[in-house]
Structure 1
Amino acid sequence: MPLAQLLSASQLQQRLAQPDLLILDCRFALDNSAYGQRSYAEGHIPGAQFADLERDLSGPIHKGITGRHPLPDPAQLLQCLRDWGLNDDSEVVLYDDGPGAFAARAWWLLAWLGKREGVYLLDGGLKAWREAGGELTHALPAPNSGSFSGQPDASLLINAEHLQQRLHDSQLCLLDARALPRFRGEVEPLDPVAGHIPGAQCAVFTDNLDSDGHFLSSTKLHQRFAAQLGERPASGLVAYCGSGVTACHNLFALCLAGYPLAPLYAGSWSEWITDPVRPVATGD
């Protein structure tokens, strides 16, 4: 079974009554941390639990040490998933407003803990659900304790020290998911230093989507990333972004394209710049 899977709004409508289905509403706004919870309260897909990026899908920030969205403690995340009703054989559907960046973060965390089958992103997110006439509800799902038994996979991560040692590796293909002006260092709305990790390539995560906000076909995604890789092997892929969130969108898209799940530099740019010794590049 492929690691990255999409579900259409109509397919989800047909599965809503399915037993052992866990739906996670992952809506969030980087400029308004209350947005997701408020939006969930105003209406969500029936049965969906709310997964907050900062409270549930990230750990505490340690200023000057971590990035803006450190990985959550595995034991705490496991308990959170069980509290939402996750079992080892559950099917999981993840969504946000549409682009899928926050849903992809949840997808990656599940893969990190070993849940790699039966996990779907809602293609087009809540926007597609509404356009398909999907129902929204204010009702909270009934408590449903799960028994998921996962453990973190260290092979899916690369830390700053190891990445810095690999910067001159000719096989490294370091993909930065941020928008081009941030990559170039022309603007930086979130972090105190502008630019990118030397040798990285800009691979804006929104380019994984078509004009309607749905993922491109696997063929088009493969063409996209093959152009980024060039002659380098897929084993040289590493993904990062501003804080380890939108990079997961590229990792999901890479899997859709048929590539293996590449390592994530979870601390990403916001962690990289906490050490002034680490090199910084600007421009293309």
Structure 2
Amino acid sequence: MSPLIEITDPAVFDPETIIVDVRAGADARQRYLAGHLQQAIFATLDDDLASKPADPAFGGRHPLPSLENFAATLSKWGVTPDSHVIVYDDKAAAMGGARLWWMLRAIGHKKVQVLNGGLKAAINAGIELSKDDHQPKSTAAYPVPAEYSGTADIDEVGEAAKSDDRIVIDVRENARYLGQVEPLDLIAGHIPGASNLFYAKNLGEDGKYLSPEELAVLYRDTIGDIKPEQVIVHCGSGVTACHTLLGMASAGITEPKLYVGSWSEWSRRDLPIATTDK
């Protein structure tokens, strides 16, 4: 199953498909109620796809929810291990859609896709949006998974960034990577040895992902001959990194890891910080 799905695909409108609309920000519900796909379940990044950090220095600003809590959320949404889940957001998958895709894949859920282009693609296609507050029907308990697979912790990241056989990719915009600005975290800069590939480069002018072939060229320019399983991707807090992991999966690169804590963790641990290009 392709990780991306187009708004023209009949599965988007199949009543058996579970659609999840992921929003972020204080006005998330208002934006959802202003217009969303028919039968789309409202979800938020902070409440459903992350836990509240006791200390961002240990886990970052958006640590993953416990496996028990995530399984309970899926049950509340009516998701079973066999469900076809389609997710989207209103930020071209950068603020939640790709994160939920990654989380489902990380617990072994097979049938999950992201709407290419997000809500904008539906609007551009002339799809009539709903303003109802759709309430899902809960189902039997989703089995609590054993782990989120495909993650790297802070120690592994530090070692990988110093290795010639591994690569750490920072997907934040270049000005943040170089430490010229830092709107969210306490200290500006990047992990020494990390490469920079801004996640927005995954997209074309239409707000959709580049073709798999174009994405493969984009990533090859950064990764080179390094094996996919030796690639670690991070961002500010483990959210937009999933956008690039989704793009990599579309290009057939399926084994990279996510550093969930990302810069929000690293920058709070009194570790080395760089402000010049690798």
Q: TM range, normalised to the smaller chain?
A: over 0.9
Of stretches 188-197 and 228-237 in structure 1, the one that deviates more from structure 2 is: 228-237
- Name 2:46's counterpart in structure 1: 54
- Name 1:74's counterpart in structure 2: 67
Indicate how the Cα distance of structure 1 residues 153 and 261 shifts in structure 2: closer, same or farther if over 3 A, else same.
farther
- Name 1:24's counterpart in structure 2: 20
Alignment of 1:188-203 (within 5 A): 188-203=182-197
1:112 Cα deviation (Å)? 1.4
In the alignment, structure 2 segments of 5+ residues that lack a partner are none
- Name 1:219's counterpart in structure 2: 213
1:167 aligns with 2:161: yes
Contact kept? 1:98, 1:123, Cα under 8 Å: no
Question: In structure 2, which of residues 21, 31, 38 is the aligned counterpart of residue 39 of structure 1?
Answer: 31
Structure 1 SS opposite 2:232: strand
**Per-residue CA distance 1:197-247 (angstroms, 9 max, x = gap):** 111111111100000101000001000111111232222210000000000
Structure 1 SS opposite 2:20: strand
Question: What is the rounded CA distance, in whole Å, between the counterparts of 1:61 and 1:142 in structure 2?
Answer: 28
- Name 1:256's counterpart in structure 2: 250
Amino acid across the alignment from 1:184: L
1:129 aligns with 2:122: yes
Structure 2 SS opposite 1:156: coil
Contact kept? 1:7, 1:121, Cα under 8 Å: yes
Question: What is the rounded CA distance, in whole Å, between the counterparts of 1:232 and 1:111 in structure 2?
Answer: 23
1:261 Cα deviation (Å)? 2.9
1:150 Cα deviation (Å)? 4.9
Indicate how the Cα distance of structure 1 residues 178 and 15 shifts in structure 2: closer, same or farther if over 3 A, else same.
closer
1:142 Cα deviation (Å)? 4.1
Indicate how the Cα distance of structure 1 residues 236 and 143 shifts in structure 2: closer, same or farther if over 3 A, else same.
closer
**Per-residue CA distance 1:108-156 (angstroms, 9 max, x = gap):** 11111111x2211111111110111111112233441134325154541
Question: What is the rounded CA distance, in whole Å, between the counterparts of 2:146 and 2:179 in structure 1?
Answer: 34
1:6 Cα deviation (Å)? 1.4
Contact kept? 1:98, 1:128, Cα under 8 Å: no
Question: What is the rounded CA distance, in whole Å, between the counterparts of 2:22 and 2:261 in structure 1?
Answer: 20
What is the TM-score when the length of structure 2 is the normalising length?
Answer: 0.94
Contact kept? 1:44, 1:137, Cα under 8 Å: yes
Structure 2 SS opposite 1:104: helix
Question: What is the rounded CA distance, in whole Å, between the counterparts of 2:67 and 2:105 in structure 1?
Answer: 12
Structure 2 SS opposite 1:55: helix
Question: What is the rounded CA distance, in whole Å, between the counterparts of 1:99 and 1:191 in structure 2?
Answer: 23
Amino acid across the alignment from 2:178: R
Of stretches 192-201 and 64-73 in structure 1, the one that deviates more from structure 2 is: 64-73
Contact kept? 2:107, 2:148, Cα under 8 Å: no
Of stretches 260-269 and 57-66 in structure 1, the one that deviates more from structure 2 is: 57-66
Indicate how the Cα distance of structure 1 residues 15 and 251 shifts in structure 2: closer, same or farther if over 3 A, else same.
closer
What is the TM-score when the length of structure 1 is the normalising length?
Answer: 0.92
In the alignment, structure 1 segments of 5+ residues that lack a partner are none
Question: In structure 2, which of residues 7, 15, 20 is the aligned counterpart of residue 9 of structure 1?
Answer: 7
Question: What is the rounded CA distance, in whole Å, between the counterparts of 2:125 and 2:111 in structure 1?
Answer: 23
1:110 aligns with 2:127: no
